[in-house]
Structure 1
Amino acid sequence: MTNSDSDTADGNGPGRRRGRNESEEERADRMWTELIQEVRVAQMGVQILFAFLLTVVFTPKYDDLSDTDQTIYLVTVVLGAVTTGALIGPVSLHRIVSGRRVKPQAVRWASRLTLLGLVLLLATMAASLLLILRVATDDGFVPYLVAGVVLWYLLCWFGIPLWTRYRYTSR
Protein backbone atom coordinates (compact mmCIF):
# COMPACT_ATOMS: atom_id res chain seq x y z
CA MET A 1 0.00 0.00 0.00
CA THR A 2 1.13 3.54 -0.62
CA ASN A 3 1.05 6.36 1.90
CA SER A 4 -2.17 7.65 0.39
CA ASP A 5 -3.85 4.25 0.82
CA SER A 6 -2.98 3.55 4.43
CA ASP A 7 -3.40 5.10 7.84
CA THR A 8 -0.51 7.22 8.96
CA ALA A 9 2.08 5.89 11.32
CA ASP A 10 2.44 9.19 13.13
CA GLY A 11 -0.32 8.60 15.64
CA ASN A 12 -3.03 10.60 13.89
CA GLY A 13 -5.26 7.55 13.94
CA PRO A 14 -7.44 5.75 11.41
CA GLY A 15 -8.84 7.71 8.54
CA ARG A 16 -6.15 10.43 8.69
CA ARG A 17 -4.01 10.40 5.60
CA ARG A 18 -0.81 12.11 4.67
CA GLY A 19 -1.73 12.56 1.05
CA ARG A 20 0.35 11.65 -1.96
CA ASN A 21 4.07 11.16 -1.66
CA GLU A 22 5.03 13.22 -4.71
CA SER A 23 7.55 15.90 -5.54
CA GLU A 24 6.46 19.42 -6.46
CA GLU A 25 7.10 18.57 -10.12
CA GLU A 26 5.10 15.31 -9.93
CA ARG A 27 2.25 17.15 -8.23
CA ALA A 28 2.34 19.86 -10.91
CA ASP A 29 2.27 17.21 -13.65
CA ARG A 30 -0.73 15.48 -12.05
CA MET A 31 -2.57 18.74 -11.44
CA TRP A 32 -1.86 19.92 -14.99
CA THR A 33 -3.32 16.70 -16.44
CA GLU A 34 -6.43 17.02 -14.27
CA LEU A 35 -6.85 20.71 -15.10
CA ILE A 36 -6.53 20.21 -18.84
CA GLN A 37 -9.20 17.50 -18.75
CA GLU A 38 -11.54 19.85 -16.90
CA VAL A 39 -10.81 22.71 -19.31
CA ARG A 40 -11.61 20.50 -22.33
CA VAL A 41 -15.18 20.09 -21.12
CA ALA A 42 -15.69 23.82 -20.59
CA GLN A 43 -13.92 24.73 -23.84
CA MET A 44 -16.20 22.54 -25.92
CA GLY A 45 -19.33 24.03 -24.39
CA VAL A 46 -18.25 27.64 -24.72
CA GLN A 47 -17.03 27.17 -28.30
CA ILE A 48 -20.36 25.68 -29.38
CA LEU A 49 -22.29 28.46 -27.61
CA PHE A 50 -20.02 31.15 -29.09
CA ALA A 51 -20.37 29.72 -32.62
CA PHE A 52 -24.15 29.74 -32.24
CA LEU A 53 -24.10 33.33 -30.98
CA LEU A 54 -22.02 34.46 -33.94
CA THR A 55 -24.67 33.21 -36.38
CA VAL A 56 -27.59 35.08 -34.79
CA VAL A 57 -26.65 38.46 -36.24
CA PHE A 58 -26.97 37.02 -39.77
CA THR A 59 -30.56 35.83 -39.34
CA PRO A 60 -33.58 37.87 -40.47
CA LYS A 61 -34.93 37.79 -36.89
CA TYR A 62 -31.99 39.91 -35.66
CA ASP A 63 -33.32 43.04 -37.38
CA ASP A 64 -36.62 42.59 -35.54
CA LEU A 65 -34.98 42.61 -32.10
CA SER A 66 -35.59 45.62 -29.90
CA ASP A 67 -32.67 47.89 -29.07
CA THR A 68 -32.54 46.32 -25.61
CA ASP A 69 -32.38 42.80 -27.04
CA GLN A 70 -29.69 43.82 -29.53
CA THR A 71 -27.68 45.28 -26.65
CA ILE A 72 -28.11 42.05 -24.67
CA TYR A 73 -26.96 40.16 -27.76
CA LEU A 74 -23.84 42.29 -28.18
CA VAL A 75 -22.95 41.95 -24.50
CA THR A 76 -23.49 38.19 -24.76
CA VAL A 77 -21.21 37.90 -27.81
CA VAL A 78 -18.46 39.88 -26.06
CA LEU A 79 -18.87 37.72 -22.94
CA GLY A 80 -18.62 34.62 -25.13
CA ALA A 81 -15.44 35.94 -26.72
CA VAL A 82 -13.72 36.75 -23.42
CA THR A 83 -14.89 33.44 -21.95
CA THR A 84 -13.35 31.60 -24.89
CA GLY A 85 -10.12 33.51 -24.34
CA ALA A 86 -9.97 32.65 -20.66
CA LEU A 87 -10.69 28.96 -21.23
CA ILE A 88 -8.20 28.60 -24.08
CA GLY A 89 -5.61 30.63 -22.15
CA PRO A 90 -4.26 27.63 -20.20
CA VAL A 91 -3.34 25.89 -23.47
CA SER A 92 -1.41 28.93 -24.70
CA LEU A 93 0.21 29.36 -21.29
CA HIS A 94 1.38 25.75 -21.30
CA ARG A 95 2.73 25.99 -24.83
CA ILE A 96 4.67 29.20 -24.18
CA VAL A 97 6.23 28.14 -20.86
CA SER A 98 6.68 24.43 -21.66
CA GLY A 99 10.20 23.27 -20.88
CA ARG A 100 11.04 26.35 -18.82
CA ARG A 101 10.77 24.51 -15.47
CA VAL A 102 7.90 26.65 -14.22
CA LYS A 103 5.12 24.06 -14.31
CA PRO A 104 3.96 24.66 -10.68
CA GLN A 105 3.54 28.36 -11.43
CA ALA A 106 1.94 27.60 -14.81
CA VAL A 107 -0.57 25.30 -13.10
CA ARG A 108 -1.51 28.05 -10.65
CA TRP A 109 -2.03 30.60 -13.45
CA ALA A 110 -3.90 28.10 -15.63
CA SER A 111 -6.14 27.29 -12.66
CA ARG A 112 -6.88 30.98 -12.16
CA LEU A 113 -7.68 31.43 -15.85
CA THR A 114 -9.98 28.41 -15.72
CA LEU A 115 -11.83 29.73 -12.68
CA LEU A 116 -12.18 33.12 -14.36
CA GLY A 117 -13.42 31.33 -17.47
CA LEU A 118 -16.09 29.54 -15.44
CA VAL A 119 -17.29 32.83 -13.94
CA LEU A 120 -17.40 34.38 -17.41
CA LEU A 121 -19.16 31.28 -18.75
CA LEU A 122 -21.80 31.73 -16.07
CA ALA A 123 -22.32 35.32 -17.21
CA THR A 124 -22.43 34.24 -20.86
CA MET A 125 -24.98 31.53 -20.14
CA ALA A 126 -27.13 33.92 -18.12
CA ALA A 127 -27.05 36.58 -20.84
CA SER A 128 -27.81 33.99 -23.54
CA LEU A 129 -30.73 32.63 -21.56
CA LEU A 130 -32.03 36.13 -20.91
CA LEU A 131 -31.93 36.97 -24.60
CA ILE A 132 -33.54 33.72 -25.72
CA LEU A 133 -36.34 33.92 -23.17
CA ARG A 134 -37.00 37.60 -23.91
CA VAL A 135 -37.37 36.77 -27.61
CA ALA A 136 -39.42 33.62 -26.96
CA THR A 137 -41.90 35.21 -24.53
CA ASP A 138 -43.08 38.60 -23.36
CA ASP A 139 -43.79 37.39 -19.84
CA GLY A 140 -42.45 39.32 -16.88
CA PHE A 141 -41.21 36.12 -15.21
CA VAL A 142 -38.14 35.93 -17.49
CA PRO A 143 -35.75 37.76 -15.11
CA TYR A 144 -36.87 35.52 -12.26
CA LEU A 145 -36.36 32.40 -14.33
CA VAL A 146 -32.88 33.55 -15.37
CA ALA A 147 -32.05 34.40 -11.74
CA GLY A 148 -33.18 30.90 -10.72
CA VAL A 149 -30.94 29.30 -13.33
CA VAL A 150 -28.01 31.49 -12.26
CA LEU A 151 -28.56 30.40 -8.66
CA TRP A 152 -28.60 26.78 -9.83
CA TYR A 153 -25.27 27.28 -11.67
CA LEU A 154 -23.80 29.00 -8.62
CA LEU A 155 -24.86 26.08 -6.45
CA CYS A 156 -23.55 23.40 -8.85
CA TRP A 157 -20.36 25.13 -9.95
CA PHE A 158 -19.30 26.91 -6.76
CA GLY A 159 -21.57 26.21 -3.77
CA ILE A 160 -21.25 22.43 -3.62
CA PRO A 161 -17.52 22.40 -4.46
CA LEU A 162 -16.76 25.07 -1.84
CA TRP A 163 -18.91 23.31 0.75
CA THR A 164 -17.15 20.01 -0.04
CA ARG A 165 -13.76 21.70 0.20
CA TYR A 166 -14.65 23.23 3.56
CA ARG A 167 -16.33 20.11 4.91
CA TYR A 168 -13.76 17.51 3.94
CA THR A 169 -10.36 19.18 4.06
CA SER A 170 -8.32 18.90 7.19
CA ARG A 171 -7.83 21.95 9.31
Structure 2
Amino acid sequence: MTMTDQPAGPPAGTPEREDLPAAAGARPAEDCPGTCPTCGTADPTGEHGPPETARERVNRRWHEILQETRVAQTGVQILFGFLLSVAFTPLFRDLATFDRVVYVLTVVLGAGATASLIAPVSIHRFLSGQRLKAEVVEAAGRLMMTGMVLLALTIGCTLLLILHVVLPSLLAELIAGGVMLWFALCWYVLPLRLRRRARRDA
Protein backbone atom coordinates (compact mmCIF):
# COMPACT_ATOMS: atom_id res chain seq x y z
CA MET A 1 0.00 0.00 0.00
CA THR A 2 1.41 3.37 -0.99
CA MET A 3 1.24 6.57 0.97
CA THR A 4 -1.74 7.77 -1.08
CA ASP A 5 -3.66 4.52 -0.46
CA GLN A 6 -3.61 4.83 3.33
CA PRO A 7 -6.89 6.00 4.92
CA ALA A 8 -6.79 9.57 6.10
CA GLY A 9 -6.90 9.85 9.86
CA PRO A 10 -7.52 12.83 12.11
CA PRO A 11 -4.82 15.49 12.20
CA ALA A 12 -2.14 15.09 14.84
CA GLY A 13 -3.25 16.41 18.23
CA THR A 14 -6.96 16.25 17.32
CA PRO A 15 -9.05 13.94 19.54
CA GLU A 16 -10.77 11.16 17.69
CA ARG A 17 -14.57 11.22 17.41
CA GLU A 18 -16.70 8.13 17.57
CA ASP A 19 -19.61 8.51 15.14
CA LEU A 20 -21.21 5.26 16.29
CA PRO A 21 -24.87 4.93 17.19
CA ALA A 22 -25.62 5.74 20.81
CA ALA A 23 -26.16 2.84 23.15
CA ALA A 24 -29.68 1.91 24.15
CA GLY A 25 -31.03 4.30 26.74
CA ALA A 26 -28.36 6.93 26.07
CA ARG A 27 -29.32 10.52 25.32
CA PRO A 28 -27.12 12.49 22.89
CA ALA A 29 -26.21 15.90 24.26
CA GLU A 30 -27.40 17.66 21.11
CA ASP A 31 -30.95 16.34 21.57
CA CYS A 32 -31.55 18.67 24.54
CA PRO A 33 -33.13 21.09 24.94
CA GLY A 34 -36.11 19.68 23.09
CA THR A 35 -37.66 16.26 23.54
CA CYS A 36 -36.06 13.51 25.55
CA PRO A 37 -35.55 10.55 23.19
CA THR A 38 -35.59 8.10 26.10
CA CYS A 39 -39.18 8.64 27.22
CA GLY A 40 -40.48 11.08 24.62
CA THR A 41 -41.49 13.78 27.09
CA ALA A 42 -40.78 17.46 26.69
CA ASP A 43 -37.36 18.50 27.98
CA PRO A 44 -37.04 22.27 27.55
CA THR A 45 -34.26 22.60 30.12
CA GLY A 46 -32.10 19.75 28.92
CA GLU A 47 -32.01 18.19 32.39
CA HIS A 48 -34.17 15.17 31.61
CA GLY A 49 -31.84 12.21 31.38
CA PRO A 50 -32.47 8.48 31.21
CA PRO A 51 -35.11 7.33 33.72
CA GLU A 52 -33.83 6.18 37.10
CA THR A 53 -34.51 2.79 38.50
CA ALA A 54 -36.14 2.59 41.91
CA ARG A 55 -32.84 1.57 43.49
CA GLU A 56 -30.94 4.44 41.83
CA ARG A 57 -33.58 6.94 42.96
CA VAL A 58 -33.42 5.76 46.58
CA ASN A 59 -29.61 5.85 46.60
CA ARG A 60 -29.56 9.35 45.08
CA ARG A 61 -32.08 10.67 47.60
CA TRP A 62 -30.15 9.12 50.48
CA HIS A 63 -26.86 10.72 49.41
CA GLU A 64 -28.62 14.08 49.02
CA ILE A 65 -30.05 13.77 52.54
CA LEU A 66 -26.60 12.98 53.92
CA GLN A 67 -25.13 16.11 52.34
CA GLU A 68 -27.98 18.27 53.62
CA THR A 69 -27.70 16.74 57.09
CA ARG A 70 -24.00 17.59 57.31
CA VAL A 71 -24.70 21.25 56.61
CA ALA A 72 -27.62 21.50 59.04
CA GLN A 73 -25.89 19.54 61.80
CA THR A 74 -22.90 21.86 61.80
CA GLY A 75 -25.09 24.91 62.33
CA VAL A 76 -27.31 23.42 65.01
CA GLN A 77 -24.40 21.96 66.97
CA ILE A 78 -22.54 25.27 67.10
CA LEU A 79 -25.70 27.11 68.10
CA PHE A 80 -26.67 24.53 70.72
CA GLY A 81 -23.19 24.61 72.23
CA PHE A 82 -23.44 28.40 72.54
CA LEU A 83 -26.82 28.15 74.24
CA LEU A 84 -25.58 25.66 76.79
CA SER A 85 -22.69 27.92 77.75
CA VAL A 86 -24.94 30.94 78.37
CA ALA A 87 -26.37 29.52 81.60
CA PHE A 88 -22.90 29.45 83.19
CA THR A 89 -22.03 33.10 82.52
CA PRO A 90 -22.24 35.69 85.33
CA LEU A 91 -24.75 37.83 83.41
CA PHE A 92 -27.28 34.99 83.31
CA ARG A 93 -28.24 35.66 86.95
CA ASP A 94 -29.30 39.20 86.00
CA LEU A 95 -31.73 38.13 83.28
CA ALA A 96 -35.38 39.03 83.75
CA THR A 97 -38.13 36.44 83.89
CA PHE A 98 -39.07 36.96 80.23
CA ASP A 99 -35.47 36.45 79.12
CA ARG A 100 -35.18 33.27 81.19
CA VAL A 101 -38.35 31.89 79.62
CA VAL A 102 -37.05 32.68 76.14
CA TYR A 103 -33.75 31.03 77.02
CA VAL A 104 -35.41 27.82 78.24
CA LEU A 105 -37.61 27.72 75.15
CA THR A 106 -34.57 28.26 72.93
CA VAL A 107 -32.62 25.44 74.57
CA VAL A 108 -35.57 23.05 74.21
CA LEU A 109 -36.02 23.96 70.55
CA GLY A 110 -32.29 23.55 69.94
CA ALA A 111 -32.31 20.12 71.55
CA GLY A 112 -35.29 19.12 69.42
CA ALA A 113 -33.57 20.34 66.26
CA THR A 114 -30.41 18.44 67.17
CA ALA A 115 -32.37 15.24 67.74
CA SER A 116 -34.28 15.56 64.46
CA LEU A 117 -31.21 16.29 62.35
CA ILE A 118 -29.11 13.49 63.84
CA ALA A 119 -31.96 10.94 63.85
CA PRO A 120 -31.42 9.84 60.20
CA VAL A 121 -27.96 8.56 61.13
CA SER A 122 -29.34 6.54 64.03
CA ILE A 123 -32.21 5.15 61.96
CA HIS A 124 -29.85 4.12 59.18
CA ARG A 125 -27.52 2.41 61.63
CA PHE A 126 -30.32 0.41 63.29
CA LEU A 127 -31.93 -0.61 59.98
CA SER A 128 -28.76 -1.12 57.95
CA GLY A 129 -28.91 -4.39 56.03
CA GLN A 130 -32.66 -4.83 56.55
CA ARG A 131 -33.58 -3.86 52.95
CA LEU A 132 -35.61 -0.90 54.20
CA LYS A 133 -33.69 1.88 52.50
CA ALA A 134 -36.79 3.38 50.89
CA GLU A 135 -38.48 3.62 54.29
CA VAL A 136 -35.30 5.05 55.82
CA VAL A 137 -35.11 7.74 53.12
CA GLU A 138 -38.76 8.67 53.62
CA ALA A 139 -38.41 8.93 57.40
CA ALA A 140 -35.12 10.82 57.11
CA GLY A 141 -36.68 13.35 54.74
CA ARG A 142 -39.50 14.08 57.17
CA LEU A 143 -37.10 14.37 60.09
CA MET A 144 -34.96 16.78 58.09
CA MET A 145 -37.97 19.02 57.43
CA THR A 146 -38.92 18.92 61.11
CA GLY A 147 -35.36 19.68 62.14
CA MET A 148 -35.17 22.66 59.78
CA VAL A 149 -38.35 24.13 61.29
CA LEU A 150 -37.00 23.66 64.82
CA LEU A 151 -33.64 25.11 63.79
CA ALA A 152 -35.29 28.21 62.35
CA LEU A 153 -37.27 28.69 65.57
CA THR A 154 -34.12 28.18 67.62
CA ILE A 155 -32.28 30.85 65.65
CA GLY A 156 -35.22 33.22 66.01
CA CYS A 157 -35.44 32.75 69.78
CA THR A 158 -31.68 33.11 70.15
CA LEU A 159 -31.79 36.36 68.23
CA LEU A 160 -34.70 37.59 70.36
CA LEU A 161 -32.83 36.70 73.55
CA ILE A 162 -29.69 38.56 72.51
CA LEU A 163 -31.49 41.61 71.13
CA HIS A 164 -33.76 41.84 74.15
CA VAL A 165 -30.69 42.31 76.36
CA VAL A 166 -29.06 45.06 74.29
CA LEU A 167 -32.07 46.84 72.74
CA PRO A 168 -35.47 48.13 73.89
CA SER A 169 -38.08 45.39 74.11
CA LEU A 170 -40.28 46.45 71.19
CA LEU A 171 -37.38 47.06 68.82
CA ALA A 172 -35.86 43.69 69.66
CA GLU A 173 -39.12 41.91 68.95
CA LEU A 174 -39.59 43.74 65.63
CA ILE A 175 -36.09 42.86 64.45
CA ALA A 176 -36.43 39.23 65.50
CA GLY A 177 -39.81 39.02 63.77
CA GLY A 178 -38.37 40.50 60.58
CA VAL A 179 -35.50 38.01 60.58
CA MET A 180 -37.92 35.11 61.11
CA LEU A 181 -40.00 36.36 58.19
CA TRP A 182 -36.89 36.37 56.01
CA PHE A 183 -36.12 32.79 57.14
CA ALA A 184 -39.63 31.74 56.16
CA LEU A 185 -39.28 33.33 52.73
CA CYS A 186 -35.85 31.80 52.02
CA TRP A 187 -36.39 28.34 53.51
CA TYR A 188 -40.04 27.61 52.71
CA VAL A 189 -41.84 30.11 50.48
CA LEU A 190 -39.18 30.23 47.75
CA PRO A 191 -38.72 26.43 47.46
CA LEU A 192 -42.48 25.86 47.40
CA ARG A 193 -42.90 28.52 44.73
CA LEU A 194 -40.16 26.98 42.58
CA ARG A 195 -41.70 23.53 42.94
CA ARG A 196 -45.14 24.84 41.99
CA ARG A 197 -43.67 26.59 38.94
CA ALA A 198 -41.87 23.43 37.86
CA ARG A 199 -45.08 21.42 38.11
CA ARG A 200 -46.96 24.04 36.12
CA ASP A 201 -44.31 24.07 33.39
CA ALA A 202 -44.32 20.28 33.24
| Cα shift at 1:121 | 0.5
- Any idea what the Cα deviations from partners look like across 1:1-48, whole Å, max 9, x if unmatched? 745964324654452775542221111111100111011101000000
Indicate how the Cα distance of structure 1 residues 4 and 123 shifts in structure 2: closer, same or farther if over 3 A, else same: farther
Indicate how the Cα distance of structure 1 residues 22 and 47 shifts in structure 2: closer, same or farther if over 3 A, else same: same
Structure 2 residue aligned with 1:149: 179
1:51 to 81, 103, 108: 81
Structure 1 residue aligned with 2:105: 75
Residue 92 of structure 2 is aligned to residue 62 of structure 1: yes
Gaps of 5+ in 2: 1-21
Residue 72 of structure 2 is aligned to residue 42 of structure 1: yes
More contact order relative to length (CA 8 Å, sep ≥ 6): 1
Q: TM-score, normalised by structure 2?
A: 0.78
Matched-pair identity in %: 44
SS of residue in 2 equivalent to 1:100 = coil
Indicate how the Cα distance of structure 1 residues 24 and 132 shifts in structure 2: closer, same or farther if over 3 A, else same: same
SS of residue in 2 equivalent to 1:141 = helix
| Cα shift at 1:135 | 0.8
Instruction: Please identify runs of 4+ aligned residues in structure 1 that moved more than 6 A.
Output: none
Matches of 2:28 and 2:137, distance apart in 1: 22
Alignment of 1:47-126 (within 5 A): 47-126=77-156
| Cα shift at 1:109 | 0.5
Q: Is the 8 A contact 2:69 2:144 kept in 1?
A: yes
Matches of 1:13 and 1:60, distance apart in 2: 64
- In our comparison, the structure showing a higher alpha carbon Rg is 2
The answer to which of 140-149 and 53-62 deviates more is 140-149
Structure 1 residue aligned with 2:16: none
Q: Is the 8 A contact 1:3 1:21 kept in 2?
A: no
Across the aligned residues of Structure 1 and Structure 2, the Cα RMSD in angstroms comes to 2.0
Q: Is the 8 A contact 1:72 1:127 kept in 2?
A: yes
Structure 2 residue aligned with 1:29: 59
How many pairs were matched up? 171
Q: Is the 8 A contact 2:76 2:114 kept in 1?
A: yes
Structure with the higher helix share, 1 or 2: 1
Indicate how the Cα distance of structure 1 residues 167 and 156 shifts in structure 2: closer, same or farther if over 3 A, else same: same
Q: In the alignment, residue 129 of structure 2 is paired with which amino acid?
A: G
Q: In the alignment, residue 36 of structure 2 is paired with which amino acid?
A: T
Matches of 1:95 and 1:50, distance apart in 2: 24
Gaps of 5+ in 1: none
